[in-house]
Structure 1
Amino acid sequence: MKINQQKLCSKRIKYVIRSAIEKDATELSQLRLQIDGETENLDRERGEAYIDVPGFQQMIKTDTENSRNLFLVALVDDQIVGFSRCEGVYLNRFSHKVEFGVCVLKAFWGYGIGKNLLKESIAWADSYGIKKITLSVLETNDKAVNLYRKFGFEIEGVLKKDKLLSDGNYYNTIVMGRFND
């Protein structure tokens, strides 16, 4: 699915949120690799589950054609600095929900980019009759948990000792959901 482009401004930077297009694939492949190496808040370490350019091209094509998927990018000065995806399940019993994920380059944290990717995704989901958005977040990512709560997400459960981080310790994953009755 596609959305209309949004122009935003925060803390003296201007950025655009729009649907991903096929020509973004090269930049997205490199960006995901970089972001995975900047934080342990995501599931992957740098280089794990690598998605090459054809992989991103196929993902963008699939997400554009399917009404239960949404792939957004955030650009500053025509450079992609973050992206988000909502991915639906096509089994009838799960057709009411999508799973949300987001990542932003560390240099652009604090500008509201992740928040606005989330807002656009929620607006899209609400307008297309999606009843539930789910996500997972590392228990130590307090900023993200608080942001999700502000947007109506509830904690549905905790996956104990779910992730092993570089400090050698296990951490819990919080499973959250937002319901649109």
Structure 2
Amino acid sequence: MRIKQKDFYVNGLSYIVRSAVEKDAINLSKVRLQVDGETENLDREKGEAYIDESGFKQLIKEDSEIHNNLFLVAEANEKIVGFSRCEGNKLKRMSHKIEFGICVLKEYWGNGIGKNLLKESINFADSNGIKKITLKVLETNIQAIKLYEENGFEVEGILKRDKILSDGNFYNTILMGRFNG
């Protein structure tokens, strides 16, 4: 699915949120690799589960054709600085829900990019009959948890000792969901 581009101006930064297009694939590959190396909030370490240009082209193509998928990018200064993805399920019993994930380059944190990617994804879900959005968030990512709660998400469960971070300690993953109707 695709959405209409939206313009934002936050903290002196002008950026847009729009649907990903195939020409974004090479830049998305680079951004994802960089983000994975900047934070432990995501599942991957830098270079793990690498998606190359052709892999992103395939994702973008599929997501633009499937009615309950959405691939968004945030672009500032003609550069992709973040992205989000909503992925639906083809199984009929789970076709009412999507799973949401987000990545933003660290130097762009604090500019509402994650918040606006989330809000556009919620708008997409609500206007397309999607009844539930799910996501996973690391327990230490307090800022993200607060953002999700402010946007109607609630904790549905905890995956205990789910990840081992660079300090050698185990951390929990929080499962959150937002319901519409």
Asked if Structure 1 and Structure 2 have the same fold, meaning a TM-score greater than 0.5 normalized by the shorter chain, the answer is yes
Cα deviation for residue 11 of structure 1 reads 0.3
Cα deviation for residue 25 of structure 1 reads 0.2
Q: Deviations over 1:28-71 (max 9, x none)?
A: 00110000000000000000000010000000000000001000
Output the CA distance in 2 between the equivalents of 1:12 and 1:33: 27
Cα deviation for residue 113 of structure 1 reads 0.2
1:65 counterpart residue number: 65
3-state SS, counterpart of residue 145 of structure 2? helix
Q: Tell whether 2:84 aligns with 1:77.
A: no
Cα deviation for residue 137 of structure 1 reads 0.1
Unaligned ranges ≥5, structure 2: none
Q: State the TM-score, normalizing by the size of structure 2.
A: 1.00
1:17 counterpart residue number: 17
Cα deviation for residue 129 of structure 1 reads 0.4
Alignment size in residue pairs: 181
Cα deviation for residue 3 of structure 1 reads 0.1
3-state SS, counterpart of residue 51 of structure 2? coil
User: Percent identity at matched positions?
Assistant: 66
Q: Tell whether 2:127 aligns with 1:127.
A: yes
Q: State the TM-score, normalizing by the size of structure 1.
A: 1.00
Structure 1: 4+ residue segments shifted above 4 A: none
Output the CA distance in 1 between the equivalents of 2:127 and 2:78: 28
Aligned-residue CA RMSD in angstroms? Answer: 0.3
